[in-house]
Structure 1
Amino acid sequence: MPLGKKVRSSSASGRLETQHVTSISSSILSELSAAESTRNLSRPRCRGEKADDFSAPRRVGVDEDEKEQPEWLVRELLKQNRRRHSVTLGDTAQTMSQQHHDIDSTRSLKIDEKISLENLQQLRRAFEGEFCAHMLQEYKEKEETARRSKQVAFILPATMNASGHGIPIVNIHSTGDGTVVTVREDGFVSLWSPELKPQKTKHMFNEGPANRRSKWASDFTMMTEYNKLMIATGDRELQLYELSTLQPYCQIKALDTIPLTVDYSYTGSDKCCVLYGDTEGCVTIILISSVADTLRLWNKLPKVENIPTVAIDNAVLSPNVTFVRWKVHHDWVTQAKYFPSFQAVVSSTNEESSSLVIGCALPLTDAEQQLNEIREACYEGKAKKIQLCWTAQVRASCDQTVFTIYKGVKAFDLCQKHSLLVTGGMDRLIRLWNPHFSGKPTGILKGHSAPIIFLFISSEDSQIFSVSTDNTVKIWHIQDQCCLFTADPKASGIHGDISACSYSPAVKCLYVAADCLAVLSLKLRPRLHSRLMASHNEPVMCCGFSEEFRQVVSCSEGSVVRVWDFDTGRQVFEFGGTHRLSSITCMTFDPSSRRLITGARDGCLKIWNFNSGQCLQTLKKDGECHEVCDCIFLKVHRKSYVMSVGRARRIDIYLDIPEDSHHVQRPQPSWQDDLKSGHKDDILCVAQCPPSLLATSSYDGEIIVWNVISGSVQCRLVCPLAAQRRDVEALDTSVPSIIFMKNLKVKQLSLTTALLSSGAKGCVNLWNVLGGGKFVSALKASKFQQKITNMAKTDKDMLLYTADKIGYIYVYSMEKIAPEQKSPRAENFWRAHTSAITGLQIVDNDQVVLTSSTDHTVRLWSAQGEFIGTFGQPESWNVHIPSSWMHPGVPFEVLIDPLSMPDHEILNAKTCHSDAMNPDRAEADRGEVKTL
């Protein structure tokens, strides 16, 4: 082709040539081969297949953030990475590779001739449309998962306790052990348990003479490190009391102004900071060193009105006391706090120009000023003590940061971890600030309809608690800047004017004082032991294995579906709210294992793309819907159906048409035999036996075998124990699990089609279906006579796996079952969970057992009961490398559970007082019994 000639490429091959691509198939196949080589590392190997050659060169992308390889993987690589001793092996491999390349090039040219550019463009448009929809749905579900992880709520309504006499509570504080302390305006102090049960009360201002005029408390704080309670009074006093006995200890009197708000902070090394704000907009700071000795000294001073008293003028003369008074605001101080992490005093007011000020406790002097003070002190020959001066000082501009906020600030909080300052006030907005920059807030939270009077930052939970004057409580997320929860007065039951609020991080409770003292407790998720692993936050109701994707899907009581990687145990995906607030009760896959069908207590069935969380169809009856207990997918006459059973006591059949544009599907008409002579109690389970048999079992113990082609009853099976006993009401005859077996050979009998059903007292009943529903034998499947909740069989129906209500799994050989003979012993059994097993599936290709339970876990076991791992655990595994398994370890909760203790003759032996008195004789008797 001449270089200067422009040729428009109309074919796909020509278009690719202009982009220096040799062929369509080569580019596609190169990508597929790379993906296939990666997939081969994790795919299961058949028994006859050779292991992968780890010494062969491979291109493996290494992520910078990838964690260090686990020890088991390093060991396996070292085992298989042996040095080659053949010189020609590499040359042969290279030659074969070249030959395959030549053949592939010839084939790709033929493929290119058949594919046009238009075909590729159609494929591209179709792919991009579906791909974009898939990605949008996937990211939507990921956002929803993240939102669910941040969910928080209070227990409503609030717990109430009358504060008494209608006198406002000035403040609420809590100690480290959760004890709540409240002080009323009249000086009445109360100590409460975290649940607001009264522990101790005392009227502090009744200790003095009878003719003394009444006092009122303006605020109080806790000196927890010194077991003291400090109350600020309207008589310009700071009174200290023993917290344990509520006895008066000492007081500082003759303050210049009335302290409106008081705060205490321990600054370390027996030092503390006491500060208060007043009506003049001043913040007074008292820094005390050697606190314990100073307080003991004040405690020995003369008593005034039955309490040792020191005037502030005399107190500041002590070398252990430093006194500073700052003029900060132009209006009353609404709140003042000292934050040791910032070494700063923060105060607020309702006035705009100085709404909030962050400043130093002591003036920051330069080196020259310090040198002059030292010279002056040396010249006088002794240290000079600065006399008390009530004239408030104004900080230098470099010593403080002033925030100007519309309508001022009534509440604030500061957090070092998030470097965050939050403010709220009359304008009903919560502003988020960088505490080092006062120019503009970093965020604004809108939602309150009344002035905000309380704010608290929970740094460990990344949450902000806010309370407004209309008794509305909100919880916000710091990073997302969104409201997580709102408790209005109608829901919480908090009414009246709020006088004080406090949040206790120790017990995760918010205390609010209004007409009554109320506590709002957070709903806490149970914290697991460090050795305990959980796959879900709620009980797991069912699980299944998708062979197509090699993924495990589990569904929880909280309507959350999680998808796990079968080969590693890692979580792949999660989506929730599948049935709104209804619990998922059952699940199944379509024959291709690409679609998931779930049933729930709301009576609906839903079909999902479980890799994106997209609901493809909803299967629902008209009118009232009852709980779905079980569902299956079956084919009849080349048509596919979804069948469900439950508390409606009917079999609902839905035609499966994936391409149907109608999202909601209605069931097919019910079978006539089902309407006339179907189950009389809730149907718990359904099982199929292709091509034409179906079995359903109910709560009253009845099993009906149906012909799915005609819809007629083939036979009825009744539990033999229920038919023989009179006290049937006291016997649990429910049948939660049934399973078909074909060509079953038991001793002296060959069954073409057999049915196994869970019976009473941990038994499994065997039935001959084609023989008119004749009872064959009963197998005592549970060692502790617990109800069998699930059953599964191996591919060739040789082994039966049963799971009971307390978490045990038993393995039985079907060849050893014989009619009218004693039940055979279990081939193997082990404790898999600590509560009822809700899911049991055998993956024959990998020789493993999948289980789920109401103990919040989904686990994987080898066919011999060796513990592989719990889905969601930090350590990944490889199903085909036993060294990566948790075996010989067992789940921690199973290990410590009393029911997991093995039997021992000493524990089971009956002893009496005479055996203890004559141990030799008792041992001889036991020996005689053994010889018998």
Structure 2
Amino acid sequence: MPSIAVHSAAASPNAEYTRWKVHGDCVTQLNYYDSINAVISSSNHEPTALVIGFAMGATNVKKKLEEIRNVGKTVKKGKSSASLAVPRRRAECDHTVFSIHKGVKAFSFCREKNLLVTGGMDRLVRVWNPYLPGKPTGVLRGHTAPVVYVHISLEESKVFSMSADNTVKIWDLETHGCCFTASSKASGIKGELSACLYLPGPRTLCVATDALAFLHLKVGSVPEPHLVRSHQEPVVCCRYNPAFRHVVSCCEASVVKVWDFDTGRQVSEFIGCHGDASVTCLTFDSSGRRLVTGGRDGCLKIWSYNNGNCLHTLQHDGSQSEVCDCTYMEVNQTRCAIAVGWDRRINVYFDTPHDFHHFWKPQPRWQDDLNHGHKEDILCVAQCPPFLLATSSYDGEIIVWNVVSGHMYCKLNPPSPLDGQDHREGPDRSVSRLAFLKTRARKLDSTAASLISNGPGGSVTFWKLFSGAGLIANFTPSKGKAQVSSIVVTAGDTLTYLADQQGFVHVYDIQEYGLRGPELQAPKTVTSWRAHVSMVTSLELIEDDSILLSSSLDRTVRLWSKDGAYIGTFGQSRPWDVFTPASWSHPRVPFEILTDPQSMPTHPILETDIPAGCSGERQERDIVMEEKVLSETAKTQNLPSPGGLTGKAEAKEDKSRWSAFCHGRQLPAQRKPRWKVPELTWPSIYQALQCHEVPCVSALGEKPDLSLIGSDVFTNSFCGQEREAELQEKEGTHSAWGRFFPEC
């Protein structure tokens, strides 16, 4: 490729050269827009943070004359105008200057919408009218790090922004609200940001750091007007308060709603619980009068949830890492709130009634937690009074703690990933749900399973905690290997309810399961049903009323009977009465579940994709059934066949042909014939009938040869029709309808 120096190109008579002084600091971004014939540039210099300048020199007449004179002087001296052109400040009419606090690191311009968007070190995204540099028309707040990339998407009417902490946000241009946030943990973007590019065709934001990442924009469908929604955003968690018979639910929009358990009506709500951060978990104190919430801003908050008043804020001095789960315990008359999350530590906050300060600090770290604690983000915490606490992390490690002493009781590691998973992509080994079998754990049973956890590939694992901790059982409840997202156990450890990411709820009988050592089979299935069309985020069993409470990312909170009868969705127009089954929605099911393709029942005719493990079992079952039919047929053939030995030989030959046909052709499992055993009450003559192939079939429309039976049926019937036609013709001469019949 030929290389041309800048001064050589500028000295050419066919090139126009313009140079001017724009910024007082280094330029951070530079774009040329042909639609307005201008160059837009930005810098960190506040007085000249962003400048829109015309590309083809000065527009002022005096300036133009001065430039012409300067060019003439340089020509007389024998030097090019480009070499001696000194950058100068341009006239105010030739450019537009935006003065922005802390400068601008990135900007985007849209001619069609006449908009200019900027982002900088002050973590704000500003929306401007390019002809009004005095004040922005909108300010978008939400980033916690300097904004390094912005883009206006004309097709979506959205603004994409990315900050230095690898957080991507999508903003609505009409409402100036944040539509979506992708953190570095959720999107998997790691390392220092190098470049960004938005592709409008596939609606993809390409991000280049240490690796290349593609973030696809998937716009959700508009909710149907007849569908009931408990929240406007995905529901993260829900809990039942027995003291007031209330259900409290929270969503990703940091909105907490209080519902009446008996009727399903909304009691109250309060918004902005954790500011712009989402609520991730909630629980109640031991009295049930206060609500404890955790959020992505890294702090816990204690609320008087009846009036929405924040009583205390619990946070530590370190970086504000996201809180993933929390619980409230009472140990030796000492009450405390425990939070776990991305800081990989267990934060214990004592709940002291005499401390009236608004901000509370956590207690000193446990030494075992500092030295031998989790190496990855902690995702879940579960308690078993009086002193056991279990935590699980992203790498699959489970640690059981003694809350009284702060020492580690035992450490559990999940089994290796299941076969069939793609090891190249690095299988997800995270354990996000734990549940104690409290009746066994309190007895310190040395042989029985005392802890349940989810695992990779949709598996569920039972663990032994005492006298040598280890694995007792491992099985997969979901046929599609969907990840188990919630686990709840009855008070007597007789039943366990497992919910997965596809919205299904599976109920298992575990009363005798894992009591006497390892188990090779899954526990007995009691029932299963589909509760939601998306991932179930929370399950809670209200055993006094035999009712199950569930919430999901499909923005609904629902009540079910313990057997799966649908009671209703919180927020529906028609209230229910928990004590009157006639007021329930059962036997109806939610409309979106009824119409969802994954809700179709499993049937051999309807199944199209047969799992690899099931095809062999079905083939064996078909073979066994076929042999049974043939044997029953042979037993019921009491009458001799007309052909004697020849008939038996032919029957044997037919059987062998049919078996070869069934086993030779590789038919799909759903197309294989399902043979039933013939009833023994049928007459044996039907079992003795033989089937033979017809060697030749007459062509269509060819008259068959019926001379063998002595008469031609076709001729007889045709002659009979002629005689009937003659009689009708004679009668037709005296009838008014005779003129309508054609003459023969």
Instruction: Give the counterpart of 1:736 among 407, 429, 432.
Output: 432
Q: CA deviation at 1:910?
A: 7.7
**Superimposed CA distance per residue, residues 307-359 of structure 1 (whole angstroms, 9 cap, x where no aligned partner):** xxxxxxxxxxxxxxxxxxxxxxxxxxxxxxxxxxxxxxxxxxxxxxxxxxxxx
**Superimposed CA distance per residue, residues 797-856 of structure 1 (whole angstroms, 9 cap, x where no aligned partner):** 111001111111110000363533221342111111111111100000111110111111
Unpaired stretches in structure 1, ≥5 consecutive residues: 1-159, 167-470, 474-488, 499-506, 511-518
2:115, 2:130 within 8 Å by CA — same for their partners in 1?
Answer: no
Mapped pair 1:622 → 2:257: no
Instruction: Give the counterpart of 2:545 among 846, 854, 862.
Output: 846
Q: For 1:650 and 1:538, how far apart are their aligned partners in 2?
A: 29
User: 1:702 maps to what in 2?
Assistant: 397
Matches within 5 A, 1:660-739: 660-722=355-417, 727=423, 730-739=426-435
| AA aligned opposite 1:927 | R
Q: 1:927 to 1:778 in 2, by over 3 A?
A: same
**Superimposed CA distance per residue, residues 673-723 of structure 1 (whole angstroms, 9 cap, x where no aligned partner):** 000000000000011111111110001000001111111111111112259
Q: CA deviation at 1:492?
A: 2.8
Q: CA deviation at 1:925?
A: 5.1
User: 2:129 maps to what in 1?
Assistant: 494
User: 1:249 maps to what in 2?
Assistant: none
Q: CA deviation at 1:928?
A: 4.8
User: 1:926 maps to what in 2?
Assistant: 673
Mapped pair 1:570 → 2:317: no
2:513, 2:519 within 8 Å by CA — same for their partners in 1?
Answer: no
Q: 1:887 to 1:494 in 2, by over 3 A?
A: same
User: 1:379 maps to what in 2?
Assistant: none
| AA aligned opposite 2:555 | H
Q: For 2:422 and 2:467, how far apart are their aligned partners in 1?
A: 27
Q: For 2:670 and 2:484, how far apart are their aligned partners in 1?
A: 39
Q: CA deviation at 1:900?
A: 1.1
| AA aligned opposite 1:903 | T
1:590, 1:633 within 8 Å by CA — same for their partners in 2?
Answer: yes
Q: 1:493 to 1:764 in 2, by over 3 A?
A: same
Relative contact order (alpha carbons < 8 A, sep ≥ 6): 1 or 2 greater? 1
**1:893 is paired with a residue of what secondary structure?**
helix
User: 1:886 maps to what in 2?
Assistant: 585
**1:890 is paired with a residue of what secondary structure?**
coil
Instruction: Give the counterpart of 2:457 among 723, 747, 761.
Output: 761
| AA aligned opposite 2:286 | P
Q: For 1:528 and 1:780, how far apart are their aligned partners in 2?
A: 33
Q: For 2:551 and 2:413, how far apart are their aligned partners in 1?
A: 29
User: 1:243 maps to what in 2?
Assistant: none
2:549, 2:560 within 8 Å by CA — same for their partners in 1?
Answer: yes
Q: For 1:879 and 1:901, how far apart are their aligned partners in 2?
A: 29
Unpaired stretches in structure 2, ≥5 consecutive residues: 1-31, 39-113, 117-123, 134-154, 159-171, 180-220, 611-660, 679-744
| AA aligned opposite 1:843 | I
User: 2:535 maps to what in 1?
Assistant: 836
Instruction: Give the counterpart of 1:779 among 449, 467, 475.
Output: 475
Q: For 1:728 and 1:634, how far apart are their aligned partners in 2?
A: 42
User: 2:281 maps to what in 1?
Assistant: 586
2:378, 2:392 within 8 Å by CA — same for their partners in 1?
Answer: yes
**1:654 is paired with a residue of what secondary structure?**
strand
Number of residue-to-residue matches in the alignment: 430
1:753, 1:770 within 8 Å by CA — same for their partners in 2?
Answer: no
Q: 1:571 to 1:496 in 2, by over 3 A?
A: same
1:753, 1:769 within 8 Å by CA — same for their partners in 2?
Answer: yes
Q: CA deviation at 1:772?
A: 2.4
Q: CA deviation at 1:508?
A: 12
**2:126 is paired with a residue of what secondary structure?**
helix
Identity between Structure 1 and Structure 2 (%): 46
User: 1:306 maps to what in 2?
Assistant: none
User: 1:798 maps to what in 2?
Assistant: 494
1:722, 1:728 within 8 Å by CA — same for their partners in 2?
Answer: no
**1:860 is paired with a residue of what secondary structure?**
strand
1:800, 1:812 within 8 Å by CA — same for their partners in 2?
Answer: yes
**1:653 is paired with a residue of what secondary structure?**
strand
1:743, 1:752 within 8 Å by CA — same for their partners in 2?
Answer: no
Q: 1:616 to 1:924 in 2, by over 3 A?
A: closer
1:554, 1:561 within 8 Å by CA — same for their partners in 2?
Answer: yes
**1:907 is paired with a residue of what secondary structure?**
coil
Mapped pair 1:550 → 2:245: yes
Q: For 2:229 and 2:312, how far apart are their aligned partners in 1?
A: 31
Matches within 5 A, 1:344-743: 491-496=126-131, 521-522=174-175, 527-722=222-417, 727=423, 730-743=426-439
Q: 1:712 to 1:877 in 2, by over 3 A?
A: same
**1:720 is paired with a residue of what secondary structure?**
coil
Q: CA deviation at 1:867?
A: 0.9
Q: For 2:668 and 2:344, how far apart are their aligned partners in 1?
A: 63
Q: 1:851 to 1:825 in 2, by over 3 A?
A: same
Q: 1:843 to 1:161 in 2, by over 3 A?
A: farther
Q: 1:698 to 1:919 in 2, by over 3 A?
A: closer
Q: 1:564 to 1:929 in 2, by over 3 A?
A: same
Q: For 1:765 and 1:495, how far apart are their aligned partners in 2?
A: 60
**Superimposed CA distance per residue, residues 602-627 of structure 1 (whole angstroms, 9 cap, x where no aligned partner):** 00000001100001111000131210
TM-score norm. by structure 2 comes to 0.53
| AA aligned opposite 2:673 | R
1:584, 1:599 within 8 Å by CA — same for their partners in 2?
Answer: yes
Q: For 1:826 and 1:732, how far apart are their aligned partners in 2?
A: 27
Q: CA deviation at 1:866?
A: 0.9
Judge which range, 704-713 or 822-831, deviates more.
Answer: 822-831
2:608, 2:670 within 8 Å by CA — same for their partners in 1?
Answer: no
Q: For 1:692 and 1:845, how far apart are their aligned partners in 2?
A: 26
Q: 1:580 to 1:830 in 2, by over 3 A?
A: same
Q: For 1:490 and 1:657, how far apart are their aligned partners in 2?
A: 42
Q: For 1:578 and 1:920, how far apart are their aligned partners in 2?
A: 59
| AA aligned opposite 2:354 | E
Q: 1:919 to 1:792 in 2, by over 3 A?
A: closer
1:762, 1:782 within 8 Å by CA — same for their partners in 2?
Answer: yes
Q: CA deviation at 1:760?
A: 1.5
**2:416 is paired with a residue of what secondary structure?**
helix
User: 2:148 maps to what in 1?
Assistant: none
Q: For 2:597 and 2:418, how far apart are their aligned partners in 1?
A: 35
Q: For 2:413 and 2:375, how far apart are their aligned partners in 1?
A: 13
| AA aligned opposite 1:565 | D
Q: CA deviation at 1:592?
A: 1.3
**Superimposed CA distance per residue, residues 52-97 of structure 1 (whole angstroms, 9 cap, x where no aligned partner):** xxxxxxxxxxxxxxxxxxxxxxxxxxxxxxxxxxxxxxxxxxxxxx
Matches within 5 A, 1:3-402: none
Q: 1:530 to 1:548 in 2, by over 3 A?
A: same
Q: CA deviation at 1:920?
A: 13
| AA aligned opposite 2:492 | K
Q: CA deviation at 1:769?
A: 0.8
| AA aligned opposite 2:493 | D
**1:927 is paired with a residue of what secondary structure?**
coil
2:446, 2:464 within 8 Å by CA — same for their partners in 1?
Answer: no
Mapped pair 1:821 → 2:523: no
**1:734 is paired with a residue of what secondary structure?**
coil
Q: For 1:920 and 1:779, how far apart are their aligned partners in 2?
A: 31
**1:711 is paired with a residue of what secondary structure?**
coil
Q: 1:726 to 1:713 in 2, by over 3 A?
A: farther
